[in-house]
Amino acid sequence: MMPLKTFYHLLCPQLFLRSVFDLPVSQLKDRGIRGLIFDLDNTLLYWNSCEVTGDARKLFRQLEHEGFLSCLVSNNKKTRVESVAQVLNLPAISKARKPSRRAFRQALATLGTSAKETAVVGDQLFTDVLGGNRMGLYTVLVKPLSKTEFIGTRLMRYIERIALRQLIKRGLIEKPALEKAGRAKLC
């Protein structure tokens, strides 16, 4: 059985952002990151929406211009994920079953990057951050775009809040960093 301390470290993102659109591109480059794995729902788009905003299009144009490779990895259904991927001209993995390693491995193979040079960006501790940390990726947690979510996700948010309190209590995350919700280094 995994020690509780190890489990909490697996839930700890390396960076917390107010929004995916605050992604510190130059900081990621300086860390040697060249591949980015993005969650879809409430990270890039509102939950269950297929509308790709101008901000999302601009982000991926900037990332491509800066030389980053990007991939969508979502637990959502294939038709929705692929329709968004097509608009953004990105590879995508649907029904990922995050935090399972399979989809993250598939994304690394698709991007042609190693774990050390890849970051995962998402809005959930128990899918994006846990899955990314299990693979040795640089993990970026963003605040969800909206409170509207799948019912199962809403239940997990309650557990997430408990986990975040434990991360703060154990000194793995600073409470002011979460309250500011700006760029903050965590673990």
Q: What is the CATH number of the domain that holds 24?
A: 3.40.50.1000
Three-state secondary-structure class, residue 71: strand
Q: What is the pLDDT of residues 90-113, one digit of tens each?
A: 999 999 999 999 999 999 999 999
Q: Of how many residues is the chain composed? A: 187
pLDDT of 103: 96
Say how many domains are in the chain: 1
Eight-state DSSP code of residue 31: T
Q: What is the pLDDT of residues 121-134, one digit of tens each?
A: 999 999 999 999 99
176 vs 187: CA distance, rounded Å:
14
From the list 108, 111, 166, the residue with the least C-alpha distance to 136 is 108
Query: Six-digit token pair at 173?
Result: 């995350």
pLDDT of 182: 47
Amino acid identity of residue 55, one-letter, is: D
175 vs 170: CA distance, rounded Å:
11
Domain extent, residue 82, equals 4-185
159 vs 165: CA distance, rounded Å:
10
H-helix or E-strand containing 38?
strand 35-38
Per-position DSSP letters for 115-179, written without gaps between them:
GGGEEEEES-IIIIIHHHHHHT-EEEEE--S-S---HHHHHHHHHHHHHHHHHHHTTSS-HHHHH
Answer whether 137's CB lies under 8 Å from 101's CB.
Answer: no
pLDDT of 138: 97
145 vs 162: CA distance, rounded Å:
20
Three-state secondary-structure class, residue 95: coil
Answer whether 73's CB lies under 8 Å from 92's CB.
Answer: yes
Q: In the chain, which residues have pLDDT < 50?
A: 181-187
Q: Edge-to-edge, what's the strand order for the sheet holding 15-17?
A: 92-93, 69-73, 35-38, 118-122, 138-142, 15-17, 184-185
